[in-house]
Structure 1
Amino acid sequence: MKKHPLYRRIRLAGLALATGAALTAGAAQAQDKGTVHLAYVEWSSTVASTNVMRAVLEQAGYEVETSSLSAAAMWQSVASGDTDALLAGWLPTTHEDYYAQLEDQLVDTGVNLDGTKLGLVVPSYVEVESIADLNEYADDFDGKIVGIDPGAGIMRLTEDVIDAYELDLDLQTGSGATMSAALKTAIDNEEAIAVTGWTPHWMFARWDLKYLEDPKNVYGGAEQIHTIVRQGLKEEMPEAYAILDAFAWTAEDMGEVMLMNQEEDADPYENAKQWVEENQEQVQEWLDAAS
């Protein structure tokens, strides 16, 4: 029996009301769960992990705020409770000073990425192979090492490297973006350049690079990236804590997101949401930890 047009309009109106009610209920649920505040530094690795966690927590029903800070301020903000968590705790070496000073005010939930590396990085066509030989090539490098922001742990370690090897090179401060831009310019012109580098980083996928040997092991061995949260988060927001605690991925996962973020006009948040959507099986494991 054919339905009267008025019946169809009433039915569609009812569906619209039901859908609107569901969306309103979902919004209320998100509001009830509260807001998680993530601190990060404008490093390509940290931008990738922070935005992925933002998208995951939003999928779980939380509002998420993010704050871009210096490395020191990032650690201090979590310790003071101004923010809830950071996903960029490079331990045991790079951020050992921050962690040692603030350990009693923080909770280390564990490793979210294993097998990181720090050191001085040069294009593969550069002749030098070891930090110990850099002085012989100091003129080729214009007497400088191109670094990132002064608060970064790798900058402190590089100062130690300069002292330990008695290098006749100055450490130039900047940012992750200015470092990679300088690296690109040097490679385009086939010039020598030494930069403070770390793995994972998208630059290793884009260019043929190598770490200089560190015979004195000043940079240390492989590290891990830890998730660090403020005290009290587990008790106040147990589900959010459980998701942050469960979060772990590989250098390949992170590298995929970092490469997406290097595209022209890339939006790291939109790229993170795309990665989360395309990796729901893995994401669901993190979300299931909260159930």
Structure 2
Amino acid sequence: MFDIKTLSRGVRLGAMMMAAGTAVAAGQVQAEEKGTVTLAYVEWASEVASTNVVRAVLEDQGYDVEMSSLSAAAMWQALSYGDADAIVAAWLPTTHADYFDRVKDNVEDLGTNLDGTKLGLVVPAYSEMNTITDIDKNADDIDGQIVGIDPGAGLMSLTEEAIDEYDLDTDLRSGSGATMTAALASAIQNKEEIVVTSWTPHWMFARWDLKYLEDPKNVYGGAEQIHTIARKGLKEDMPEAYAILDNFEWTPEQMGEVMLMNQEEDSDPYENAKEWVAENQDVVQQWLPDAE
């Protein structure tokens, strides 16, 4: 025989479960209605940090987000063809200048999302090298090579140009951001000479005492900015997502916080981004459409 209290509790529990199911369904419908935003990026520590943060913010606003890791050339091509909706990884006006010039008619520059970047050749602070012209004098100590990153990166093209401009008898070794920092870590551990291609912001400047080699011929240019670039038509297709991307802007220090989190053992850049977003809502609120 049913007890009236038990029956009442059952009714309330059923109602709560139905309400929860309705809320989940509503969230799914909202995500389906808002659609999927595809963010392309390159596997640089800075771009892994920024792209995951933007993903977390967009997801909080009800969007499904897909991230596509590509080479720099493929990233710009995907954006131009509409296979990606946006990137927050455009280094301008120098590093990605050639890529941008090729696709500028098919994309929209939403402006700077981070100011105060730098490119160049980096050595440990203890190194006797101070300028790019010192590299050849220490060729034997560095095995006649500069340790680079992925071959499609604009930084690598600039380094090839620097080798020509300074008439260096040195090879440029391609690899990835990870292989570059691994080589740097090994050299520092053994207090050896090494020259690597690098950029600011990067977590390695917080971990080790490093310095840029002076570039008297200004091959690497001055300070750059990181821009957000969207495909043409995104504003009309997804105005709220477009507004968030347009508003997204942070500092090298804020980016550095996320990059350092990502260097922790077994850490997940996506989970770190969600944690940073949750703890920095005062910053995030400025990126939302209502902040305009």
Measured against the shorter chain, the TM-score band is over 0.9
Query: Which residue matches 1:282?
Result: 283
Per-residue Cα deviation, 1:58-83 (whole angstroms, up to 9, x for no partner): 00100001111100000010011011
Q: Separation in 2 of the partners of 1:97 and 1:21?
A: 50
Q: Separation in 2 of the partners of 1:18 and 1:290?
A: 31
Q: Separation in 2 of the partners of 1:214 and 1:206?
A: 24
Amino acid corresponding to residue 27 of structure 2 in structure 1: G
SS of equivalent residue, structure 1 residue 4: helix
Measure how far apart 1:280 and its partner are. 1.3
Count of residue pairs brought into register by the alignment: 289
Is there any run of 5+ residues in structure 2 with no aligned partner, and where?
Answer: none
Measure how far apart 1:110 and its partner are. 0.4
Q: Percent identity of the aligned residues?
A: 69
For the 8 Å contact 2:285–2:291, the answer to whether it is kept is no
Amino acid corresponding to residue 76 of structure 1 in structure 2: Q
Query: Which residue matches 1:242?
Result: 243
Query: Which residue matches 1:97?
Result: 98
Query: Which residue matches 1:19?
Result: 20
Query: Which residue matches 2:126?
Result: 125
Amino acid corresponding to residue 168 of structure 2 in structure 1: L
Is there any run of 5+ residues in structure 1 with no aligned partner, and where?
Answer: none
Measure how far apart 1:8 and its partner are. 2.3
Per-residue Cα deviation, 1:245-288 (whole angstroms, up to 9, x for no partner): 00001111111111111111111111111111111121122123
Residues 96-105 or 194-203, more deviating: 96-105
For the 8 Å contact 1:243–1:290, the answer to whether it is kept is no
Cα RMSD (Å) of the superposition? 1.2
TM-score by length of 1: 0.97
Q: Separation in 1 of the partners of 2:208 and 2:93?
A: 28
Measure how far apart 1:20 and its partner are. 1.6
Measure how far apart 1:290 and its partner are. 7.8
For residues 1-291 of structure 1, the aligned pairs below 5 Å read: 4-289=5-290
For the 8 Å contact 1:242–1:290, the answer to whether it is kept is no
SS of equivalent residue, structure 2 residue 264: coil
Runs of 4+ in 1 over 4 A off after TM superposition: none
Amino acid corresponding to residue 22 of structure 2 in structure 1: A
SS of equivalent residue, structure 1 residue 248: coil
Per-residue Cα deviation, 1:5-51 (whole angstroms, up to 9, x for no partner): 32222122212211221121111111110000010111111111111
Q: Separation in 2 of the partners of 1:280 and 1:103?
A: 33
Per-residue Cα deviation, 1:98-140 (whole angstroms, up to 9, x for no partner): 1111111110000000000000000001011111222111111
For the 8 Å contact 1:239–1:290, the answer to whether it is kept is no
TM-score by length of 2: 0.97
